[in-house]
Structure 1
Amino acid sequence: MLQFPAWKSVMISLVCLAGIVFTLPNGFYNRVEQANDARILLEQGQLLTPEEEAAVAGWPSWAPSGLVNLGLDLRGGAHLLVEVRVEDVYAERLEGLWPDLRDALRERRDTVGTIRRVERDPTELRVRIGNPEAMQAALEAAQGLTQPVVSLTGVTSRNYDVRAEGDELVVVMSDAEKTATDNRTMQQSLEIIRRRVDETGTREPTIQRQGTDRILIQVPGIGSAEELMAIIGQTAKLTFHEVERRVSSANEVAPGAIVLPSMDEQGIYYVLGRRPIVSGEDLVDAQPAFDQNGRPSVTFRFNPSGARKFGEYTTNNVGRLFATVLDGEVITAPQIREPITGGSGQITGNFNVEESTRLAILLRAGALPAEIEVLEQRTVGPELGQDSIDAGRIACIVAFVAVMVFMVLSYGLFGIFANIALILNVALMFAILSVMGATLTLPGIAGIVLTIGMAVDANVLVFERIREELRTSKGPARAIELGYEKALSAITDANITTFITAVILFAMGSGPVRGFAVTLGIGIVTSVFSAIFVTRMLVAWWYGRTRPKTIEV
């Protein structure tokens, strides 16, 4: 105990100093946050306003700039619970199967006779054949288009079920394929929503699946739930179709044709080809811009496959109309004046700058595979978040002061050593949260308050052990040494079990529960370090300098 190695003292001191340095930016939260935002814009090559340049100069670039991100309940923002209409994908899958099934039946036209699609239920693909006696041949042709569905348990069934009803061939998705499609749809929706939210530059959003077809979205720092819904609520399904003709009423068209209204021209409808020439899946980039008349627009660029299809169609159809469709509305339908072979184009319409910017974000992030329906929406105002921060700050200060007073009254000088370690413990905790870029929520503050109380437990065990050793007439140096040695096992056991609990909470919980688990787990690690190493180092320094004959714990 009397020989505390110099290298160990140096290492512990450096760790504590690093904790203070990396915690420091949180004391200047707004200044550092504004400087970080301005530097991100600078890295993206954007010109900074005078205010943003002042923000960059407000915090030195060489200083640590990591911050503890504030969660929805502390910063304010938007909360949405949405339901993905996964059943909409079934009809699209069957629509995509129809051209292949039609071609397969045409190859057997001599046997099955004429074929005609029957529009009845969008979840079924029905085809009426001219020769019902050859239904078996039609069934075999349809069966040849099905694929096995592979799951963790192996091949369970085919992706489509095929049956005959009189003179009609009926194709539906199998239950196994519906389950697999639902999972793919939800995973794709999660990823696209995450990309859309990330494009807005918000910090630490919470986007997670709930149940079979629901998604929870919490975005701190955004103005309102309506603003968030404008970003993620639009399907943003972009397709390019050939225009068969323009009509003034949808009733003029035979049932089964695709008739969509014009976004700009009131009372005008377009009859479109059933299959898109190119879709938004072929886009690789989209940016807001202005057209030759100075109106807001969106420029886009295709991948090689999309550029080839786009170029071939425009080359072979000069003089015809070409419709750009977004979520069931024709944005624009210009005439093809010359082949467009460069793989890029421009979408013009009745946009303002904000709408063109948002459309570019949606197109870059990709289209949602299905529509979403809002089940719950809530806006947390920044004032409420500030109230939570103030309440959390008061709770931390009260807990801090109460624990420090108790330690001084109970253990005197040794209590002061424990209080110094407690301050360093909180600094280390915030330093780790800042470096990790973790999100602090109200339950997270509760975890910090709990950690403050638990942080002195180890010191209490050590100091009580030292008291017991002093009662057996051992010398101060020996009593201190035995106190740390005999209390170590109890300290280790208690904190390991609590840390396991924190890990389970993090693994099994979600949202606020995870925030509590993160701060609790980090607090356990830092409190053990501060109790076993920092307090012991302080006691060793004091004893080595004073060499008291007796000590009072």
Structure 2
Amino acid sequence: MLNRYPLWKTLMVVFALLIGGLYALPNIYGEDPAVQVTGARGASVDMSALDLVTDILSDANLSQKAVAFENGSVLVRFNDTESQIRARDLLSEQLEDEDFIVALNLAPATPRWLQSIGAQPMKLGLDLRGGVHFLMEVDMDAAMEKLLSQQEEAFRVELREARLRYRSITKTSDAVEVRLRNAEDAAEARAVLAPLHQDMTFEIDEARQTLVGEFTEARLLEVRNYAVNQNITILRNRVNELGVAEPLVQRQGANRIVVELPGVQDTARAKEILGATATLEFREVDSVVDLAAAASGRVPADSEVKFDRNGQPVVLKKRIILGGSHITDASSSADEYGRPQVNISLDSEGGSKMTAFSRNNVGKLMATVFAEYKDSGERTEDGRVILDKHEEVINQATIQTALGRNFRITGIDSQAEAMNLALLLRAGALIAPISIVEERTIGPSMGQQNIDKGMAAMLWGMAAVMLFTLVYYRRFGLFANMALLMNLILVIGLMSMIPGATMTLPGIAGIVLTVGMAVDANVLIFERIREELREGRSPQQAIHHGYANALSTIADANITTLITAIILFAVGTGAIKGFAVTLSLGIVTSMFTAIIGTRAIVNLVYGGKRIDKLSI
């Protein structure tokens, strides 16, 4: 028996090693600190932006490693983080009045020939590489204004249903005031509204013939907590849309949210998507109003003037037909003429409202209003960011038939803007506007010393295992060490190839455990070969029976561990998932290298020959 091994299995091992090594290669090149400049709302920048950025940095004598125009944005690479931070601050100040987003980034230094085949370094978690840190503040004043606007509309509807006449309903900073004809009507209005709004207190101002409704402290606290918690949920949805692995989104204090994103490659887009407060409002166009009169401010009490992106005035009814909170899904596509559009799906309540309105207003114009809050650059006395609300009519369409839960909006400038708008609507409209009050890159959360010790433990552990196998199993120990290196290359290559996979410090522990399990498989095989030799079999027979008889034991041990790792991944979070991913990959690769890889190496040395002795 010459113990021949099929050529295709050897070629399979070589092919797997080449592919794994190729995709593991980008990890040795590292990353450059960078600053990224992109257009707001998904718009692409042109070469003039590149020249502008270059001139600003040159005038400040700020040296850079490279400046390039990549994927519709300007990317400036630096040699150190100090230059990166200075450049970010300088560009943010100089481009403050421009329609740009300036963000910190870490750009892979991977050669273009590797990038062309999709090879990228594996994503590292916050505990290994750090990432981007955003501190966001929820605008509670805007949340209260939104709540009061809802109550103002509710009062109007409820008093009409009760056939109670009133002069006006207005909201103040903390209350809703109903002006009536006399004190008797005010008392009657309180009798109507108080049972319907038990979370409010109502007082009658007889001198002004006004009913004043204010929220209780318990209700105000509930609103504030709801605004922060719901915004956290929506931010998590947006982070998931960005495809960031193992992010941190948590509350800090009464009205602030911390977002930490490990391994983000496009921080400008992350900054825009997280900080955006975009939503849509659907309103009826007041077509009977003279636009010239509207431009001078003469509009009916129930209408107001908005502007489209060309600066043209549009008179809209104040009543909002439908808000972004009823949108359940949104996707971008192109219409029959190739123009960008966003396809909207509504929940059942929103679908009912849209159907009822459109059925009764066929032939009339309906406008789509894009609303978002932006940092005004000003601060309150206590340091809070003051946000300005920007509204823009992006679409006017004639209602030709009753609309249902699904429809589309057009009038969008670019496909990138349509994709961004769809993402924001799909993730959900923020309950209250938020502003980014602090942005920085963060170092490893567990400390560089711990990381160095973890890496050193892995390397020293591997060295000790390799030395033991080399001394104890001699030439076969060398084969096992070669398989261990193959295993490490394959794990790193797979971690780099799998989207969303993130290497964390517990992940390194998973690799260390994998190394031990890979050696365990080789020990079972080699001891079985020794046993076959002691029973008097020839070296070739011993090799053949050793691998064949040890296979079931190795499979049983590894499959049970793999099941445990899958359960950990299914029910675990954060670091536990990182450990489970590397452990699962390591189990699969260690079985491959121990059973097929070492067998291929052994047969390259001993297969097809007549030998008298094995070095084992």
Q: Above 0.5 in TM-score?
A: yes
State whether structure 2 residue 480 is matched by structure 1 residue 418.
yes
CA deviation vs aligned residue, 1:487-525 (integer Å, no higher than 9, x gap)? 222212221222222223323332222222221111111
**Distance verdict in 2 for CA 1:325–1:540, change over 3 Å:** closer
Which secondary structure state, in structure 2, belongs to the residue aligned with residue 217 of structure 1?
strand
Cα deviation for residue 210 of structure 1 reads 8.3
Counterpart AA for 2:495: L
Q: Identity over aligned residues, as a percent? A: 34
Partner of 2:89: none
- Picking from 476, 479, 484, the partner of 2:542 is 479
Counterpart AA for 2:562: F
The 2-side partners of 1:342 and 1:183 are apart by 30
State whether structure 2 residue 145 is matched by structure 1 residue 103.
no
CA deviation vs aligned residue, 1:522-553 (integer Å, no higher than 9, x gap)? 11111111111111222233332442234353
Is the CA contact (8 Å cut-off) linking 2:484 and 2:515 kept in structure 1? yes
- What pairs up with 1:459-478 in 2 under 5 angstroms? 459-478=522-541
- Picking from 496, 514, 533, the partner of 2:577 is 514
Cα deviation for residue 423 of structure 1 reads 0.9
Partner of 1:218: 260
The 2-side partners of 1:476 and 1:181 are apart by 74
Cα deviation for residue 99 of structure 1 reads 1.7
> Structure 2 unaligned runs (5+)?
36-64, 80-105, 205-210, 282-293, 298-315, 331-340, 345-353, 355-364, 377-384, 397-419
Partner of 1:27: 28
Counterpart AA for 1:432: L
State whether structure 2 residue 504 is matched by structure 1 residue 432.
no
CA deviation vs aligned residue, 1:23-63 (integer Å, no higher than 9, x gap)? 222222348999xx9999433276989999x9797656555
- Picking from 533, 537, 541, the partner of 2:604 is 541
- What pairs up with 1:190-339 in 2 under 5 angstroms? 190-192=236-238, 206-208=247-249, 217-220=259-262, 309=367
- Picking from 455, 470, 473, the partner of 1:408 is 470
Counterpart AA for 2:25: L
Counterpart AA for 1:500: I
**Distance verdict in 2 for CA 1:57–1:494, change over 3 Å:** closer
Counterpart AA for 1:478: Q
State whether structure 2 residue 130 is matched by structure 1 residue 67.
no
Is the CA contact (8 Å cut-off) linking 1:105 and 1:115 kept in structure 2? no
**Distance verdict in 2 for CA 1:341–1:71, change over 3 Å:** closer
Which secondary structure state, in structure 1, belongs to the residue aligned with residue 432 of structure 2?
coil
Counterpart AA for 2:259: I
**Distance verdict in 2 for CA 1:193–1:244, change over 3 Å:** farther
The 2-side partners of 1:33 and 1:343 are apart by 37
Is the CA contact (8 Å cut-off) linking 1:68 and 1:434 kept in structure 2? yes
Is the CA contact (8 Å cut-off) linking 1:162 and 1:169 kept in structure 2? no
CA deviation vs aligned residue, 1:335-363 (integer Å, no higher than 9, x gap)? xxxxx98879xxxxxxxxxxxxxxxx999
State whether structure 2 residue 548 is matched by structure 1 residue 496.
no
Counterpart AA for 2:237: E
Partner of 2:12: 11
Higher strand share: 2
Partner of 2:88: none
The 2-side partners of 1:397 and 1:550 are apart by 33
Is the CA contact (8 Å cut-off) linking 1:82 and 1:373 kept in structure 2? yes
TM-score normalised over the length of structure 1: 0.59
Cα deviation for residue 458 of structure 1 reads 0.6
Which secondary structure state, in structure 2, belongs to the residue aligned with residue 75 of structure 1?
coil
Is the CA contact (8 Å cut-off) linking 2:68 and 2:75 kept in structure 1? no
Higher helix share: 1
Partner of 1:314: none
Is the CA contact (8 Å cut-off) linking 2:24 and 2:493 kept in structure 1? yes
Is the CA contact (8 Å cut-off) linking 1:84 and 1:372 kept in structure 2? yes
Which secondary structure state, in structure 2, belongs to the residue aligned with residue 219 of structure 1?
strand
Cα deviation for residue 89 of structure 1 reads 5.2
Cα deviation for residue 68 of structure 1 reads 1.0
Is the CA contact (8 Å cut-off) linking 1:161 and 1:171 kept in structure 2? no
The 2-side partners of 1:540 and 1:229 are apart by 52
Is the CA contact (8 Å cut-off) linking 1:75 and 1:382 kept in structure 2? yes
Cα deviation for residue 428 of structure 1 reads 0.6
State whether structure 2 residue 614 is matched by structure 1 residue 551.
yes
Is the CA contact (8 Å cut-off) linking 1:277 and 1:310 kept in structure 2? no
The 1-side partners of 2:166 and 2:459 are apart by 83
Cα deviation for residue 11 of structure 1 reads 1.9
Is the CA contact (8 Å cut-off) linking 1:325 and 1:332 kept in structure 2? no
Is the CA contact (8 Å cut-off) linking 2:132 and 2:439 kept in structure 1? yes
The 2-side partners of 1:418 and 1:465 are apart by 15
TM-score normalised over the length of structure 2: 0.54
State whether structure 2 residue 568 is matched by structure 1 residue 505.
yes
Cα deviation for residue 177 of structure 1 reads 12
Is the CA contact (8 Å cut-off) linking 1:388 and 1:442 kept in structure 2? no
CA deviation vs aligned residue, 1:282-332 (integer Å, no higher than 9, x gap)? 9x9xxxxxxxxxxxxxxxx99999x97599xxxxxxxxxxx9996755589
Cα deviation for residue 432 of structure 1 reads 0.3
> Structure 1 unaligned runs (5+)?
144-159, 246-272, 285-300, 312-322, 334-339, 345-360
